[in-house]
């Protein structure tokens, strides 16, 4: 007796082109903010803090729109568990931590460090994990 194993996509509707661009744009913006924070931490040139603030604002915009697309995709999936839910939760966590980092960067430039750097590190790691989970095209094996 032979058994056949079929593969089905993890998403009913895979991320579209605009969703992919928004998600992929979030990572370099958070990474640029992280590099700007590192430069500010080493030099204390206030302009690096300003760069980080603007890059965080862009990352929040891209991440928020990608989160909106991810939520629509989550509603359209036939089941509510698994990878689509992990992707949405990672993206939501990155967005919330990025928002807190933006609030931290809104303070006086001398008050940004070291909490701003740590929050930006966490937001960058979460954004990378969300992009990995969201853009991974592996299929799940149906039982």
As for how many domains the chain has, the answer is 1
Q: Does any domain span residue 121?
A: yes
Q: Does any domain span residue 109?
A: yes
Q: Does any domain span residue 72?
A: yes
Kindly provide the residue ranges of all beta strands, DSSP E only, lying in the chain, ordered along the sequence. 7-9, 139-141
Per-residue confidence (pLDDT) for residue 15, from 0 to 100: 76
Which stretches of the chain drop beneath a pLDDT of 70?
A: 1-14, 79-82, 137-143
Per-residue confidence (pLDDT) for residue 10, from 0 to 100: 47
Non-local CB neighbours of 94 within 8 Å, separated by 6+ positions: 26, 30, 63, 123, 126, 127, 129, 130
Instruction: Please give the share of the chain, as a percent, with pLDDT higher than 90.
Output: 65
The residue segments making up the domain with residue 112 are 13-136
Q: Does any domain span residue 114?
A: yes
Residue 131: which of 34, 28, 53, 58 has the closest Cα?
28
Q: Does any domain span residue 141?
A: no
Spatial distance between the Cα atoms of 3 and 63, rounded to a whole number of angstroms = 43
Q: Does any domain span residue 143?
A: no
Per-residue confidence (pLDDT) for residue 3, from 0 to 100: 60
Per-residue confidence (pLDDT) for residue 140, from 0 to 100: 53
Q: How far is CA 98 from the centre of its chain?
A: 9
Q: Does any domain span residue 5?
A: no
Q: Is the pTM of this model over 0.75?
A: yes
Q: For the segment 18-32, what is each residue's pLDDT rounded down to a tens digit?
A: 999 999 999 999 999
Per-residue confidence (pLDDT) for residue 136, from 0 to 100: 82
Per-residue confidence (pLDDT) for residue 85, from 0 to 100: 86
């Amino acid at each position: 007796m032979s058994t056949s194993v079929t593969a089905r996509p993890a998403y009913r509707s895979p991320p579209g082109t605009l969703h992919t661009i928004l998600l992929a744009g979030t990572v370099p913006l958070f990474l640029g903010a992280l590099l700007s924070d590192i430069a500010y931490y080493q030099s204390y040139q206030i302009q690096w803090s300003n760069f980080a603030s603007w890059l965080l604002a862009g990352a929040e915009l891209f991440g928020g729109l990608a989160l909106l697309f991810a939520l629509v995709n989550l509603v359209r999936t036939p089941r509510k568990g698994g990878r689509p839910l992990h992707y949405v939760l990672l993206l939501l966590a990155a967005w919330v931590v990025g928002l807190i980092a933006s609030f931290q960067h809104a303070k006086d430039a001398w008050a940004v460090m070291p909490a701003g750097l740590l929050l930006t590190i966490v937001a960058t790691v979460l954004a990378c994990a969300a992009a990995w989970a969201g853009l991974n095209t592996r299929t799940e094996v149906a039982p």
